[in-house]
Structure formats: C-alpha cells, structure tokens
C-alpha cells in the first residue's frame, strides 16, 4: 500500500508539473506593453516553485517507498534528524522564507514599474464605475472635461450611472458613457476606477492586469494595449448575488477606428 | 321605446321565454372615463441603452433601444402613464385576472404594469439567460429573486398600495414599475397616450395620472349614469 502511494504521488507530481511546463492551460496571449515583464516574472516564479514542488513530492514518494511496511513484516526503523525535529523545522522555514523573499523582491520591482509609475503624459483618461453587477466607462467628450459625479443623482433607469448633473453642469453634457471599454492601440490609457457599492475587481487576462475597486477610493491604473480585438473583462472579487454575470468587453481598436467610434458616440448624444 | 315593444312582441310571438318571463333584467348604470395624456415642455433626451455585456440581448434588437423613462408618441402623447381612480371607489369587485410581466431582450415588457393589491402577478423570463428581478419595495416586503432561463414564472402579489421600481441587478439598464393600487380601475396609456376606465357606477371620482418622470395630476370627474366622460391630462416635461 505504501509503495502504491509513492507511485501515485510521483505520477501526480510529474503530470501536474508537465501541465505547467508545457503550458497546457496557460494565459491567453499578452496584448499589453508591460505584459512581457509580468509573463517573465510569472515564468520565473513557476520554475522556482515548480522545481521545489517536484523535488518535495519526489522526496516524499522516495521516503514512503523506502520506509513503507513490506509484505514480509514491520516497516524499517526511521532515524531521527540530527538534533531532533526543531532544527529540521527551522531549516525548512528559512529555506522557504528565502525563496519567498527573493520572489517578492524581484516581483515587486516588476509590479512597481507597472502600478507605481505615473502614466505617460497625454494618456487617454477614462473613468470606470464598478457597480453590482456591471462596469460602465466614461469619456470626457469634446470639452476634455469630466462632469462632476453626484452619487445621489445616480440612476440606472435613465442610464445616469455616474450621477451626472447635465442640467447644471455643462461639462457633464458631452460626457460619453458606455458599457464597453473601447481603447486605441499603442496609446497609453489611464483608468480612474470608482466603486459604487462594494469591492469589485478589474481583470483582463490578456492585458495582464487585475486591480480591485474599493468604495471611497479613486484608483488610477494605466496601461497600453498593442493588439486590436475584443477581450472579456470580468469581476474577480465576489461582490454579491450577480457576481457571476459581472463582466464587460474591452474593445481594442486601431487609432482611426477609435477616433471614428468616439465621433459616432459624441454625435449620438 | 318602440324598439323595445317590438322586441317584446317578437318574443311573445315565437312563444319563447328568453326574458325568463319576469321583468326585463337591467344592468346597473356603468360609466366610462376615457382620455388622452399629452405633454408640454421640452422632453429629456432619451439615451441609447448599451447592452454590450449581454450579447444575447444585443442580437435581439436590430435597432437601437432607448431608455423608457419618457416614451412619447404622435401629437405629444405620453406612453406608460398610469391613470387610476384614487378616490370615489364604491366597493368595486377585486381584479382577479393575472398581470403578466415579461423579461425579454433585456427589457421589461411592459415597462410599467398596474395592478390592484392582491391581484395575481406572474413574472416570466423569455430570455436565453438568467435574470434577477428585484422590486425595490418600501411599504411591501422587498425581495430579489434569480430566474434562470426556462425557469417557471414567479407568481406573487402585493399586499399594500405602492409604486414599486423594479430592477435587474445583473442588467442595470433594466428598469420598470409595479404600480400597486387600491382600486381595480386603472389603465396604462398606450403608444397613442390613450386610456379608458370602464365599469364605473355613478358617483364622483378623483382620477389620477402618474408618470415616472412627469409627475402626478388629478381631475375630478362625476359619472351620472351609463355615460362616457372625457378626462385629458397635460403633463409637464423637463429636459433634465
């Protein structure tokens, strides 16, 4: 029985490692300028963590094989680690701690480069509202200014998701509000993220971006997309009953297509 | 009068007893109030509903769908106005027919449904995906139910008069009203803005017209017998 367990552990470890090593279920192709670094970091993490995982599982299987009770009687006696279990636990904790710290320091540099740098000057500014259970996006319109948000005026029935006051606020009248995030390729984009009710998350795997919305905070997020196409944006924070259906699409268009789209939306106001 | 005598003779002549032999049955006098709801002023600009998160619904609408909070028709007529008797009811029998409320193409059909307290209400999902129906009741008990595709209708009713906004949490643009009234005499204006309240015994009534954006108006109407009285309403529209 012990030997069977050793074989099963070995098979599970090798098969699951192979699934990662051969990218059987892997991320979709990256469409962002910063994604290369995220992917490299992801690969490094997977290699280090994967090597330790495989080694650990093989060691486990080896010990189980060697010290399991055979058909002929009692299991082999197990020698204790020199000095007892304490040095063993300390050694393991230090080794794993070093690994995690290294990954954290290397990874945080990549993370900071993506999240903690200012957006490029002239980046396209888009406001995002996460609410139970949809995303809405706002463009400043011809005047380049966003109308102020008045939470008490938010009204889904009149499509006033951002709580604009066009009666008194002229800058709000030309704001374009849509249910899909439409962006041009090769132009830096800054999202200003607002949550209307609870925490939500903005996750577009192709953009290699996942960022929470937090009520009461305006969270900036910037990136540049490189490949036209239609991608799915999903909420990855359990936000309530309809969380499963909280999604939108990201449409990355060429610059002329984007300009045309923006013109059509402005004309429809 | 002559016609009635002739009819009586005919009945006698054929020897029938269609009238039952007794005095002829007379229906109690029943009046009707009908009219049209129009607006003055500047309409708010309707916005196109963006259904892009639900591709099923996008394909169901070949033409753009606009918000339904200020739907108007020819000659300034206003649709989805609830016209009802707010005072003067004389113990009319309760409405027992079931009010149907559909979810189709990510819209509520009808946008506004009027019903009496305790009148059966059936809510259907005709879309190939889930909806979540959430009447934002304050006086009645609020509830919020999911209705997957193919699920049986939700059958319910309301205990208290109330204007209840209805929303779908997973499709925020979906918005409608359950208008729950004490009276069985109510109508929702059609695309021509017209309405008709029938079966009213003689008496003095207050007729109220309610619109979600244009507010409420009242008129006093007296029904003297089997007659039709006209009550037109002119609501004031504002651009914002």
**pLDDT for B143-164, tens place per residue?**
999 999 999 999 999 999 999 9
Do B124 and B72 fall within a single domain? no
Do B97 and B83 fall within a single domain? no
Tell me what pLDDT residue B3 has: 46
Do A131 and A184 fall within a single domain? yes
Do B157 and B142 fall within a single domain? yes
Is residue B94 very low, low, confident or very high in pLDDT (cuts 50, 70, 90)? very high
Q: Quote the percentage of chain A above a pLDDT of 90.
A: 68
Name every chain B residue with its beta carbon within 8 A of the beta carbon of A269: 45
Name every chain A residue with its beta carbon within 8 A of the beta carbon of B175: 156-157
Tell me what pLDDT residue A223 has: 94
Is residue B24 very low, low, confident or very high in pLDDT (cuts 50, 70, 90)? low
Do B46 and B99 fall within a single domain? no
Nearest-angstrom CA–CA distance, B77 and A261? 34
Q: What is the pTM of this model?
A: 0.80
Among A115, A144, A161, which residue terminates a domain?
Answer: A115
Tell me what pLDDT residue A3 has: 87
Tell me what pLDDT residue A31 has: 96
Domain that residue B121 falls in: 93-182
Do A147 and A252 fall within a single domain? yes
CATH number at residue B178: 2.60.40.420
Give the residue on A whose Cα is nearest the Cα of B144.
A241
Name every chain B residue with its beta carbon within 8 A of the beta carbon of A249: 52-53
Tell me what pLDDT residue B57 has: 93
Is residue A70 very low, low, confident or very high in pLDDT (cuts 50, 70, 90)? low
Is residue B10 very low, low, confident or very high in pLDDT (cuts 50, 70, 90)? very low
- B101-114, pLDDT tens digit by residue? 999 999 999 999 99
Q: Is the pLDDT of residue B194 over 90?
A: yes
Contact B53 A247 (CB under 8 A): yes
Is residue A209 a contact partner of residue A30, using CB atoms and an 8 Å limit? no
Nearest-angstrom CA–CA distance, B153 and B136? 19
Structure token digits, residue B225:
């017998």
CA-based Rg of chain B, rounded to a whole angstrom? 22
Do B177 and B97 fall within a single domain? yes
Do A201 and A255 fall within a single domain? yes
Do A137 and A254 fall within a single domain? yes
Residue B77 lies inside a defined structural domain of this protein: yes
Residue B163 lies inside a defined structural domain of this protein: yes
Q: How far is A127 from chain B (nearest CA, A)?
A: 16
Residue B152 lies inside a defined structural domain of this protein: yes
Do B199 and B167 fall within a single domain? no
Looking at the structure of chain A, the number of domains it has is 2
DSSP string, A75-130: PPPPPPPTT-HHHHHHHHHHHHHHHHHHHHHHHHHHHHHHHSSPPPTTPEEEEEEE
Residue B4 lies inside a defined structural domain of this protein: no
CATH number at residue B65: 2.60.40.1120
- When pLDDT is averaged across residues A82-91 and rounded to a whole number, the result is 87
Domain that residue A95 falls in: 2-115
Looking at the structure of chain B, the number of domains it has is 2
The question of ipTM being above 0.95 is answered as: no
CATH number at residue A158: 2.60.40.420
- B60-93, pLDDT tens digit by residue? 999 999 999 999 999 999 999 999 999 999 888 8
Is residue A236 a contact partner of residue A224, using CB atoms and an 8 Å limit? no
């Amino acid at each position: 029985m012990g030997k069977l367990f050793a074989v099963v552990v070995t098979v599970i470890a090798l098969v699951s490692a192979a699934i990662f090593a051969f990218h059987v279920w892997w991320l979709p192709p990256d469409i962002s300028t910063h994604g290369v670094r995220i992917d490299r970091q992801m690969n490094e993490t997977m290699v280090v963590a994967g090597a330790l995982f495989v080694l650990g599982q093989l060691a486990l299987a080896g010990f189980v094989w060697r010290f399991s009770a055979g058909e002929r009687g009692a299991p082999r006696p197990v020698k204790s680690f020199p000095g007892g279990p304490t040095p063993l636990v300390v050694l393991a904790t230090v080794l794993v701690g070093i690994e995690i710290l290294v990954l954290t320091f290397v990874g945080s540099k990549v993370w900071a480069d993506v999240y903690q740098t200012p957006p490029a000057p002239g980046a396209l500014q888009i406001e995002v509202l996460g609410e139970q259970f949809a995303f809405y996006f706002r463009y400043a319109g011809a005047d380049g200014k966003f109308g102020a948000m008045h939470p008490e005026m938010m009204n889904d029935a009149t499509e006033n998701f951002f709580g604009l006051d066009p009666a008194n606020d002229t800058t709000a009248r030309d704001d374009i509000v849509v249910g899909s995030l439409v962006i041009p390729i090769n132009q830096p984009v800054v999202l200003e993220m607002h949550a209307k009710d609870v925490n939500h998350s903005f996750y577009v795997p192709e953009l290699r971006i996942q960022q929470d919305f937090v009520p009461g905070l305006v969270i900036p997020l910037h990136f540049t997309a490189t490949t036209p196409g239609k991608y799915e944006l999903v909420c990855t924070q359990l936000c309530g009953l309809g969380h499963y259906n909280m999604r939108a699409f990201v449409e990355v268009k060429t610059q002329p297509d984007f300009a045309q789209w923006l013109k059509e939306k402005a004309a429809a106001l | 009068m002559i016609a009635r005598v002739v009819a009586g003779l005919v009945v006698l002549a054929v020897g029938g007893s269609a009238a039952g032999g007794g005095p002829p049955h007379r229906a109690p006098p029943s009046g009707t109030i009908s009219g049209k709801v129009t607006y003055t002023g500047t309409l708010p600009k309707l916005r196109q509903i963006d259904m892009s998160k639900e591709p099923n619904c996008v394909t169901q609408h070949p033409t753009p769908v606009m918000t339904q909070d200020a739907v108007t028709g020819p000659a300034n007529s206003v649709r989805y106005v609830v016209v009802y008797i707010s005072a003067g009811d004389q113990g009319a029998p309760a409405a027992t027919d079931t009010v149907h409320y559909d979810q189709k193409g990510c819209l509520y059909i009808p946008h506004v449904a009027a019903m009496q307290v305790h009148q059966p209400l059936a809510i259907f999902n005709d879309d190939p995906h889930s909806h979540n129906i959430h009447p934002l009741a304050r006086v009645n008990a609020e509830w919020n139910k999911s209705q997957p595709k193919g699920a049986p209708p939700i059958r319910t009713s309301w205990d208290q008069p109330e204007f209840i906004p209805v929303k779908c949490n997973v499709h925020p643009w979906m918005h409608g009203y359950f208008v729950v009234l004490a009276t069985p005499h109510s109508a929702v204006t059609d695309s021509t803005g017209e309405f008709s309240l029938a079966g009213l015994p003689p008496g003095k009534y207050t007729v109220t017209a309610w619109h979600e954006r244009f507010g409420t108006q009242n008129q006093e109407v007296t029904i003297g017998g089997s007659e039709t009285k006209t009550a037109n309403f002119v609501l004031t529209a504002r651009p914002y």
